[in-house]
Chain A
Amino acid sequence: MAVDRLRKLSAWVIVLLFFSVIAAPVQASAASSGKAGAARFERALGGGAVPEILKQYGGEYVLPLGQRLWVEEVFRRLVGAAERQDVEYTLTVLNSAELNAFALPGGYVFITRGLVNAIGRDEAKLAAVLGHEIAHIEEKHGMNAVLRQMGLTVLLEVGMLAVDFASADLLRLAGTTLLELISRGWGREAEFEADLVGQTLAVRAGFDGSGAVSLLDGVLNLDSEDLPMKVFRTHPDTQERRERLEANLASFWPPPAAVDDPQVLERLNGGRILAQAGRNDPRGRYIVSLQENGAGLHIFDLQLGESALWLEGASVRDFAWSPQGQYLAVTLDEVSGDAVWICDRWGHVKRQIDLGRRRASQLSWSPEGKQLALLISDSGSQGILVTYAEADALVPMAADLGVEYSTWLEDGLFIFTGDAWYCISPPPVVPVTVQNPVPQVLQRQRILSPTVIKEGSTIRLTRPSLTMP
């Protein structure tokens, strides 16, 4: 108790000391306060720290033309979906191999070239990173952290202080505080909030919200010893963040809507029993069939004219090719319960989903082959579980409807409850196309040596490749 009282007392002393420093300018020009003044202050505060950031991270880096236009287009879409109108967002790529990104008050977003290159051309992951940073600015995390550090938040909240945001003294003091805070981050709760707000922003801008989950999975898989990722040192527990982001994915799927269009209903009722759906390799190379004893999958490779056994020893119950033939999903009876595996098109297991006591049936791929719906039976009730081909995430839905059957068509995921059809439209994902593009400049490699690509048991020689400067 004594310690607590002492802490409270010392906090008030600091606040009062600080108040005495800035009280004079605050009271003298209270007229210049207000939202516009606060926005200008925020911009000036962040802008004041930009030179220091550039100095610390090797200055600005200019990405190659094609990559630059792509990154700028992702950023443009995210900014277009942002809510704050009083912020001018700018993106700077820093010349550092470190994997890092951060935001300063006033709309300054930074990402290192190391992180841009590590992300490659995965627009969902880039949108997750930039969305997270924009969210910090949307939610004023930096600004609030600085004010909190300076002890002003309480006074502002209770109306005891009308801050003169035009005060040079205040700006200088806040700037110093900001530089101290940047390396520590904006706080645990701010990071959690930026994750969810950023993910929502990305989905609103037409990106796949599962990119944030994949991004953090990549972080979790990194060897902790070669972590050049200062960004993650300032962030709270990655596993917890990942779980929150995965749970948040369900919020982007609208509730099931009853289907009453006669044409759609006719189509659905006419094609309900689709036992052969997904059984044929869309690329026509493999004939896949279940083994009689359920151990693995029997494959006949039409290209090689040979038979093979995939997933040897696994009790495969069912399988379905994705519409483009990129993936093969299988359900299995495991000792510990049911499981779903997603394999590449050569039978290599990419993901294993352990369902425990729940039983999975009716594998149904989305038309783009990015998502897989499973009918899940659990203690007498049946619901849908949607998972992603490229992200280790599960989204439960329609658990209370008593689902009997589900199928994925162009308009969305359709579920049948025994007496009615419902449709769930997934959040739209819009591919990035560069606005106002310029012609590419291609180069031909002088040495005509083929590239050797190994795809499962097949070796493919390509023609000499072009490079894009």
Chain B
Amino acid sequence: MFPGKYQAVHAAALTVVLLALAASGVQAFIFSDPGSLYTAAIPDSWIYQAYHSTDQLAVFYGEGDWDLLYFEGLGKVADQSVRELAERSLALYGEPGGLSGFQLETPLLPVEVGGLQGLACAYTYQDERGNLLWEYRIFLLLPDGEGFSIALGSNGPWVKNNPPVLEEVLKKWQWTD
């Protein structure tokens, strides 16, 4: 009897701990980029890909076979506004030599990332094998004139509906002074 009673108490305690963890939100780790530009909370299930990342590019793989999250610092751009950067980029994606079958799925809408106003949209395109890929992309223009982008890619439209991963990332995003 004693061991069984002990097990029940133990299980109850564990449930409380798990519920507390669930209530606190998604488990995440803090990622500080090598370029010392930002820190972001990345859900534990997204794995940093050191092999594909550089000082300017941070790449994470999610659980799904197509799930991809990446942040990219572009360096100086000539664009005078974030809208100019976004529209120029989307125009190039849609041109010959850009993305095959490119189609804008949502218009550019305002989004805030760490107190900085950006623009976001979702689009689809086809990879070399004809698979339809979705991507949600945020364009940002930093105060010193450098472009920045956050992108979430997968093979389904879920990426455009403010998924938990992006909510978590954006909620705790901080620009380094």
Closest to B52 in A: A466
B74:A439 contact, CB within 8 angstroms = yes
Is there a chain B Cβ closer than 8 Å to A469's Cβ?
Answer: yes
Known: A442-B59, A467-B128. 9 other contacts (CB 8 A): A65-B92, A438-B74, A439-B139, A442-B52, A443-B133, A446-B131, A463-B52, A465-B52, A469-B99
- Give A467 to B153 CA distance when docked, in angstroms: 13
Is there a chain B Cβ closer than 8 Å to A441's Cβ?
Answer: yes
- 16 A-B pairs (CB sep. < 8 Å): A65-B95, A437-B75, A437-B77, A438-B74, A438-B92, A438-B147, A439-B74, A439-B139, A439-B147, A441-B99, A442-B70, A443-B133, A443-B153, A444-B68, A446-B65, A463-B51
Q: Assuming A65-B97, A441-B93, A444-B153, is B70 touching A436 (CB within 8 A)?
A: no
- Give A426 to B125 CA distance when docked, in angstroms: 46
Is there a chain A Cβ closer than 8 Å to B49's Cβ?
Answer: yes
A59 to chain B, nearest CB (A): 12
Residues on B with C-beta less than 8 A from A448 are 65
Is there a chain A Cβ closer than 8 Å to B170's Cβ?
Answer: no
Q: Assuming A63-B97, A68-B97, A462-B51, is B72 touching A439 (CB within 8 A)?
A: yes
Which positions in B face A, CB cutoff 8 Å?
49, 51-52, 57, 59, 61, 65-68, 70, 72, 74-75, 77-79, 85, 88-89, 92-93, 95-100, 125, 127-128, 131, 133, 135, 137, 139, 147, 149, 151, 153
B97:A439 contact, CB within 8 angstroms = no
- Give A65 to B128 CA distance when docked, in angstroms: 15
- Give A462 to B51 CA distance when docked, in angstroms: 8
- Give A467 to B128 CA distance when docked, in angstroms: 10
- Give A435 to B77 CA distance when docked, in angstroms: 7
Is there a chain B Cβ closer than 8 Å to A64's Cβ?
Answer: yes
Q: Which A residues, 244 to 284, have Cβ-Cβ distances below 8 Å to chain B?
A: none
Closest to A440 in B: B72
Scan A111-130; emit 1 where CB is below 8 A from any B CB, else 0.
00000000000000000000
- Give A447 to B131 CA distance when docked, in angstroms: 13
A466:B153 contact, CB within 8 angstroms = no
Is there a chain B Cβ closer than 8 Å to A457's Cβ?
Answer: no
A439:B77 contact, CB within 8 angstroms = no
Is there a chain B Cβ closer than 8 Å to A220's Cβ?
Answer: no
Q: Which A residues, 427 to 461, have Cβ-Cβ distances below 8 Å to chain B?
A: 433, 435-444, 446-448
B147:A443 contact, CB within 8 angstroms = no
What DSSP secondary structure best describes chain B's contact surface? mixed
Interface size on A, residues (CB 8 A): 25
- Give A447 to B127 CA distance when docked, in angstroms: 14
A444:B77 contact, CB within 8 angstroms = no
Closest to A63 in B: B97
- Give A283 to B35 CA distance when docked, in angstroms: 23
- Give A439 to B88 CA distance when docked, in angstroms: 10
B127:A469 contact, CB within 8 angstroms = yes
B67:A444 contact, CB within 8 angstroms = yes
> Which among A63, A437, A466, A469 is the interface contact of B128 at CB below 8 angstroms?
A469
B97:A442 contact, CB within 8 angstroms = no
B3 to chain A, nearest CB (A): 43
- Give A469 to B97 CA distance when docked, in angstroms: 9
Residues on A with C-beta less than 8 A from B133 are 443
- Give A465 to B59 CA distance when docked, in angstroms: 11
Residues on A with C-beta less than 8 A from B88 are 436, 438
Is there a chain B Cβ closer than 8 Å to A62's Cβ?
Answer: yes
Residues on A with C-beta less than 8 A from B151 are 439, 441-442
Scan A403-447; emit 1 where CB is below 8 A from any B CB, else 0.
000000000000000000000000000000101111111111011
B74:A435 contact, CB within 8 angstroms = no
Closest to A437 in B: B74
- Give A436 to B76 CA distance when docked, in angstroms: 7
- Give A65 to B153 CA distance when docked, in angstroms: 19
- Give A69 to B175 CA distance when docked, in angstroms: 29
> Which among A68, A442, A447, A463 is the interface contact of B153 at CB below 8 angstroms?
A442
